Structure formats: C-alpha cells, structure tokens
C-alpha cells in the first residue's frame, strides 16, 4: 500500500528533488547578490523555491486522488535508447551514414512485425534519404564515412 502510494507520488517527488537541487546549488555555489544587483544565483533560487512549493501542493492534491503511473514499454525504451546511443557512439568511429543505418535498424527492432529483410531495406533507404537531404541538398558538413 505504502509502496504503491510512493510510486504514484514518484513524479512529484522527483520534481521536488530537482527543485531542491537547484536551490541548494544556487544558495551554496552562486552569488545571490543584493536586491539592487541580483547575482546569478538569485533567480534560480526563487524559481527553485516555486518548484518545491508547487511540488508539495501537487503531492497534497494527489494524496486524495493518487493514480498509479502508466506502464512503461521496456522494449520501446531499449530500442530507441539503443538506436540513439548507437548513433552517438558510431558517428565518430564510422561516420554519420553508418550511424544512421544503425539508428534506423535498432529502432525498427521494437516493431512487432517479424523479419530481418524489411528492417535492412528500411535502414538502407533511410540512410540514402539522409545523405540526399542533409548532405547533398542542405550541405550540412557531416562526415558521411569516416576514413573516406
């Protein structure tokens, strides 16, 4: 019962912690200045206090009508995270186009449709379109294939 209530409030608590972190960072690490010449820490401190106050209000409101969070789709999270992380890791090693191929292939792994052929064709087509649009037409200075 308590763990369910805690999970329901986890979002509010996370925001509260973020607000508290900013307040702590501003109060201890930045100059607050004077009322006339506000320092770099003043505004984040005020905004952080607002976040904490609103998070506490939200916690109180949600105590009466707590709703459990929706179920996360782990497969989708892993596929998208793997795709984007792979793009970021592969780009400096192999170039943007191989990284794009990986991103499209990895993201397609979350699809319920079985088969590898359509995934490989999709990745090739998207890589080709990326080359055409970004490198050829928009002239964005990407390195298409590192080492070439």
For the CB of residue 11, give the shortest distance to other proteins in the complex, in Å: 3
Nearer Cβ to other proteins (5/76) = 76
Nearer Cβ to other proteins (123/148) = 123
Start-to-end Cα distance in the chain: 60
Residue 133: both structure tokens together: 């649009």
For the CB of residue 137, give the shortest distance to other proteins in the complex, in Å: 10
For the CB of residue 22, give the shortest distance to other proteins in the complex, in Å: 5
Phi, psi of 120 (to 5 degrees): -65, -40
Please give the DSSP secondary-structure letter assigned to residue 73: -
In 3D, which of 9, 18, 26, 11 has the Cα closest to residue 51? 18
Nearer Cβ to other proteins (44/145) = 44
Could you tell me if 127 and 104 are in contact, meaning their C-beta atoms sit under 8 angstroms apart? yes
Nearer Cβ to other proteins (2/55) = 55
Instruction: Tell me how far apart the alpha carbons of residues 30 and 18 are, in angstroms, rounded to a whole number.
Output: 17
For the CB of residue 136, give the shortest distance to other proteins in the complex, in Å: 13
């Amino acid at each position: 019962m308590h763990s369910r209530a805690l999970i329901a409030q986890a979002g509010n608590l996370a925001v509260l912690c973020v607000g508290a972190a900013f307040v702590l960072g501003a109060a201890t690490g930045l100059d607050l200045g004077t009322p006339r010449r506000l320092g770099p820490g003043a505004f984040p401190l005020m905004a952080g206090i607002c976040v904490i106050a609103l998070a506490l209000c939200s916690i109180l409101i949600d105590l009466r009508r707590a709703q459990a969070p929706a179920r996360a789709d782990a497969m989708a999270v892993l596929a998208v995270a793997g795709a984007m992380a792979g793009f970021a890791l592969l780009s400096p090693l192999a170039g943007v186009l191989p990284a794009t191929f990986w991103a499209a292939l990895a993201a397609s792994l979350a699809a319920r449709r079985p088969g590898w052929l359509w995934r490989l064709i999709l990745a090739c087509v998207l890589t080709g379109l990326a080359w055409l649009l970004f490198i050829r037409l928009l002239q964005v200075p990407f390195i298409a294939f590192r080492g070439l």
